[in-house]
């Protein structure tokens, strides 16, 4: 069975997934990294050149491909839940763990990261995160098999909590 981490950007999906994979002796897969390799460019450059719709199409292709895996910890992009086909594909062999994170914590984690493409036309990162969270909150909750609150927890504490809830 795969463990599929979902949540907003800045929720810690990749960081937690790496540790979780190590602890459980499972393969680590980062959906965004795979996408970047497949299109042979950075994700911001791809989005700028081809747009979000084409990005989502590529993301769906990769979600379908990696859904065939059976013993992996998968870190997804924050928007993977926007398409039901992605959720359905990844649920075939996976349990979804939603890393629920406050806007304040996401802001702290993302303030120095300028490598991500804008998701909205909002002027500030805080406004953007607020809007995107409002749009996606229900999708994350509905897709989740397990919800983990990440604020004020270390990566190790989050990984350990996931393991205990899976058992």
What is the domain count for the chain? Answer: 1
For residue 28, what are the domain limits? 2-166
Alpha carbon distance 11, 63 (integer Å): 20
Residue 114 pLDDT exceeds 70 = no
Residue 122 pLDDT exceeds 80 = no
> Confidence class of residue 109 from pLDDT cuts 50, 70 and 90?
confident
CATH number at residue 107: 3.40.50.300
> Confidence class of residue 76 from pLDDT cuts 50, 70 and 90?
very high
45-60 confidence digits (pLDDT tens): 999 899 999 999 999 9
Alpha-helical runs (H) found in 40-102: 43-50, 52-66, 84-91
Tell me the two tokens of residue 77. Answer: 């992009």
């Amino acid at each position: 069975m795969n463990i599929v981490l979902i949540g907003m950007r800045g929720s810690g999906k990749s960081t937690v997934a790496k540790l979780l994979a190590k602890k459980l002796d499972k393969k680590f897969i980062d959906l965004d990294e795979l996408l970047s390799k497949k299109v042979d460019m950075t994700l911001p450059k791809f989005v700028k050149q081809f747009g979000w719709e084409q990005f989502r199409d590529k993301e769906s292709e990769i979600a379908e491909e990696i859904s065939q895996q059976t013993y992996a910890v998968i870190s997804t992009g924050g928007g993977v839940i926007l398409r039901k086909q992605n959720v359905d594909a990844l649920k075939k062999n996976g349990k979804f763990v939603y890393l629920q994170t406050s806007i304040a914590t996401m802001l702290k984690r993302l303030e120095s990261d300028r490598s991500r493409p804008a998701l909205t036309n909002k002027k500030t990162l805080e406004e953007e995160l607020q809007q995107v969270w409002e749009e996606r909150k229900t999708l994350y909750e509905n897709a989740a098999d397990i919800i983990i609150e990440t604020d004020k927890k270390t990566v190790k504490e989050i990984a350990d909590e996931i393991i205990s809830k899976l058992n």
